Amino acid sequence: MSRRAALLRAFLAALAAVLVAGCGVAPDDRPEEVSTDPAPASAPGIGSSGSGPLVTLYLIRGADLTPVVRRTTTRTTPVVLDLLLEGPTRIEAADGIRTALAPELVGVEATEPDGTVTLTLTRGFTGLTGGNQLLAVAQVVWSLTELPAVTGVRFTVEGAPVEVPTDEGLTASPVERDDYASVAPATPTPSPSPTTGPPDDPEDPEDPDGAPSTPPTSTGAPAS
């Protein structure tokens, strides 16, 4: 090997070492395994199929309220109201279920210690006509009073109490479920039922409430 070639090789080796050191990467004879952990799963949201609590909402079938169930992350007044304002699912709508509410109509203003929730309405709420306004109010009242802490609902517009329809006429006072008995759901509230055992067999001789399976027999002669 000539002297010039040896000097060139030495120069190139030194240049490579400088470049590697400048990049801050140490040379490695073996490939390094890179870990690729999966992305964290997102938390279930409103109406998702997660494992959160169930809430019962009230929509409309015909001229009455009808209960539907949603799964959510938490049972609070704003969450229940948001779910209610989403209206029926496609399957529910195809089954004849509807809503009298529009998303821009209501919002939670306050919850009082006595369990009365104060909602604020837009002026558009007064545009609901006939029985639709009563049904819309009934949907809100029945849905929110599913929460144990809620006993009644007061409706306001720009901070002032507003009259809403009830079975007995207009009122600006807080309203409860009993004020909408005329549109009460005809079907029971859908909810998971606990598994129970079979009913007692009335013919079971060990059943304290049932009759013995065979009449008692006498083992001795009747007394004379």
Over residues 117-153, the pLDDT tens digits come to 999 888 777 667 778 899 999 999 999 999 999 999 9
**Given this model, what pLDDT does residue 113 score?**
87
**Given this model, what pLDDT does residue 21 score?**
46
Q: Would you state the structure tokens that stand for residue 190, as one six-digit string?
A: 């859908």
- Name the burial class of residue 15, with classes exposed (0-12), middle (13-18) and buried (19+) by CB atoms within 10 angstroms of its CB: exposed
Residue 156 has pLDDT above 80, yes or no: yes
- Count structural domains, the chain: 1
Residue 19 has pLDDT above 60, yes or no: no
- Does residue 73 fall inside a structural domain? yes
Selection from 7-16, 116-125, 185-194 with the highest mean pLDDT: 116-125
Residue 200 has pLDDT above 60, yes or no: no
Structural domain of residue 161, as residue ranges?
A: 54-181
pTM of the model: 0.62
- Does residue 212 fall inside a structural domain? no
- Does residue 159 fall inside a structural domain? yes
Residue 49 has pLDDT above 70, yes or no: no
User: Which candidate, 143, 189, 183, places its Cα nearest to that of 62?
Assistant: 183
- Does residue 114 fall inside a structural domain? yes
- Does residue 162 fall inside a structural domain? yes
Residue 182 has pLDDT above 80, yes or no: yes
- Name the burial class of residue 56, with classes exposed (0-12), middle (13-18) and buried (19+) by CB atoms within 10 angstroms of its CB: middle
